[in-house]
Chain A
């Protein structure tokens, strides 16, 4: 009477882990792709071209180890040719993805996967502490600045205060507190190796919300892919598709997509 639908694309755990890595690599290429648009070849554009080839090669199983090595080579070349101006996205990619060449079967190496988790945990805690040091979240001034001068998504909370002038109201202070606390909790949960549905919800929802609010999905896709690897969950097909869509949204601009949605 009831028809049981077969699972679409039943993927093994190993394949899911490899998809997560592929999405992480793809996010790095998307982040640096504009280097390929300049009319001259330099270290950075060569590096991005190498990484692009590696991302394509990775789709062919016999070439995957070579592709990963090639990608790491391109990543390091890009990084060391302009480390002082690289986005934090690239720094995080170097710290987390470069060591993968040490492991032939990285997806079952607890040492490497725990290293990713700890690195992400440290980064989240440090990012929260940097906000504490700057003080601009606890006094609400940064949220106020974004609410007045920011992109359409950064102005999400502008309705809470007087829109006619740049002013800090209690709501902005509260939002600043919540943002720092949320990030700190994400970091502590990662460092403590806590797992479970609620933990995953806290962590993934933070990344997605920050990606929307800060108008930058690319960095969050890298983080999501790394989390999928660190938790040994791998990346299911639907999440990989969503990640690719988000990378495309990032190219257009989250704010532009939101405006298109409403207009």
Chain B
């Protein structure tokens, strides 16, 4: 293996193959609408209008938007550019560390974007997935994730 790397031509050939593999992967998940076409080095930008995803934080009951610092959560979940990547447990813990006013509050985190509709030539709102957070006691919370599950139904919340 190391001998292979002594040859610079082999290294560049390997890089080119890795690049082609990554591009093929991006094309597949882009075709399945599971990734932001503008990101992740797949060169699918300018196929649709730019449509970054956004995370909304709601009170669970009653449903109302809450102010929250979400940059860290986005950073730890790859900017939500892989639409179906579930939110990780550690990032949830860090989310509450950065938002102490939300500790003990049951939440619904909703990830949405805007999707280009070629028939109407408009950008429609698109629900990607949600995470429900329920506090068991003062220090423990559980959360359920459903990313991408409801995409086809296009469920909207008030």
Q: Which residues of A contact B (CB under 8 A)?
A: 82-86, 88, 91-92, 95, 99, 102-103, 111-112, 115, 118-119, 122-123, 126-127, 129-131, 133-137, 139, 141-142, 144-145, 148-149, 166-168, 214
Alpha-carbon separation in the docked complex, A85 to B15 (Å)? 21
Shortest Cβ distance from residue B88 to the other chain A in the assembled complex, whole angstroms: 13
Q: Are A168 and B121 interface neighbours, CB within 8 A?
A: yes
Which B residues touch A168, using CB under 8 A?
121
Closest chain A CB from B17 CB (angstroms): 10
Contact assessment for B16 and A123 in the assembled complex, using a CB-CB cutoff below 8 Å: no
Interchain residue pairs with CB less than 8 A apart (11)? A84-B79, A88-B45, A112-B8, A119-B19, A129-B27, A131-B44, A131-B47, A133-B30, A142-B116, A145-B121, A166-B122
- Size of B's binding interface in residues, CB under 8 A: 35
Q: Are the CB atoms of A166 and B30 closer together than 8 Å?
A: no
* A84 and B85 alpha carbons, distance in the complex (Å): 12
Which residues on A sit within 8 Å (CB–CB) of B11?
Answer: 99, 102
Query: Using a CB-CB cutoff of 8 Å, which residues 44-86 of chain B contact chain A?
Result: 44-49, 75, 78-79, 81-82
CB within 8 Å for A148 and B121 given contacts A85-B39, A91-B41? yes
How many Å lie between the Cα of A123 and that of B75 in the bound state?
27
Q: Pick the contact of A214 from B9, B37, B40, B46 — CB < 8 Å?
A: B46
For residue A244, give the distance in angstroms from its CB to the closest CB of chain B: 24
- Chain A residues near B16: list those with CB within 8 A: 115, 118-119, 122
Contact status B42-A130, CB under 8 Å: yes
Please name all residues of chain B whose beta carbon is closer than 8 Å to the beta carbon of A166 when the two chains form the complex. Answer: 121-122
CB distance from B46 to the nearest CB of A (A): 6
